[in-house]
Amino acid sequence: MRRSLTLYGLTFSLPLLIWQLLFFVFPLVFLVALSFWTVKNFRMQPDIDAVNWVTMYGRPLFWQAYGITFAMSAAAAALVSALAFPCSYAIAFKLSETGRRWAVFLMVIPFFTSYLVRVYSWQIFLSDAGIINVMLGWVGLGPYGLLNTVGATMIGYLTLTFPLVVLLQLFSLAFIDRTLIEAAHNLRCGRLRTVFAVIIPSARVGLVIAALFAFILSFGDFVSPIYLGGGDPTTLSILITDTTKSGQQWPRAAVIALTMIGTLMAVAFAAVRFAYKGRTK
């Protein structure tokens, strides 16, 4: 408030600043430099050579993976938003105060269970002799190949993002002015129309941000595409892990990572613009 630089103030402000500069900003900046390094005889050398960019961007496989990753994450964001909304709506408007608190508490629990364990658990459900196929067998259906499909990857993405999206949507629904809804009812606005004409526009910022997070999480996730989707189609995150873990092609992995960051920044910017569009009136 008053004096800007004191030993006292700096004691509290500086540690985090230094830590995040050293171990968050620098690594990301280093990634940029790394993408211009060259690899000779399996050893990386500092260099300024665009060869990695040219190689990666010249590969049809890379662009194919890019398109697929983008499409699948966008589909996941749309799907999870659509599936989560009735749930958040019901929690926000149909449950009692106590019920709502329990609902929130239960939705927080998945954050503290291992995502890997949940993905493995889905394998138990989806495998050829798994729970779902056994149940389908009881009514004379199947077995279907459920595992190693895009659908299975989507289930993984939903597992990852559904709780977060419900919580974020819930948060934005909680701040809607209830008198607006009552006014709509009094003006004989139908239920469904109230949802689309009053509630969704009022909660738009939160809904868009929730979808954005779903997109970011799905875009970067490598566990579901590998262990539920079977690694096919290849996503960018699979490309990064493969390129990093097998061989010393880190500079190429850096190119993929930077492309992903650029994409995410563009998407985030567009989403925030869209979320706040017309808000300044």
Considering only residues 179-238, where is the footprint of other proteins by CB under 8 A?
191, 213, 216-217, 219-223, 227, 237
Does residue 83 interact with other proteins by CB under 8 A? yes
Name residues contacting other proteins, limited to 88-107 (CB under 8 A).
89-91, 94-95, 103, 105-107
Q: Measured between alpha carbons, how far apart are the two ends of the chain, in Å? A: 32
Does residue 36 interact with other proteins by CB under 8 A? no
In whole angstroms, what is the distance from residue 230 CA to residue 212 CA? 25
Does residue 144 interact with other proteins by CB under 8 A? no
Name residues contacting other proteins, limited to 240-259 (CB under 8 A).
240-241, 244, 250, 253-254, 257
Does residue 20 interact with other proteins by CB under 8 A? yes
Does residue 11 interact with other proteins by CB under 8 A? yes
**Spatial contact of 167 and 87, defined as CB atoms under 8 Å apart:** no
Does residue 269 interact with other proteins by CB under 8 A? no
Does residue 109 interact with other proteins by CB under 8 A? yes
Q: How far is the CB of 182 from other proteins (least distance, A)?
A: 11
Does residue 53 interact with other proteins by CB under 8 A? no
14 or 183: CB nearest other proteins: 14
The residue count for binding other proteins (CB under 8 A) is 86
4 or 41: CB nearest other proteins: 4
Does residue 108 interact with other proteins by CB under 8 A? yes
Does residue 115 interact with other proteins by CB under 8 A? yes
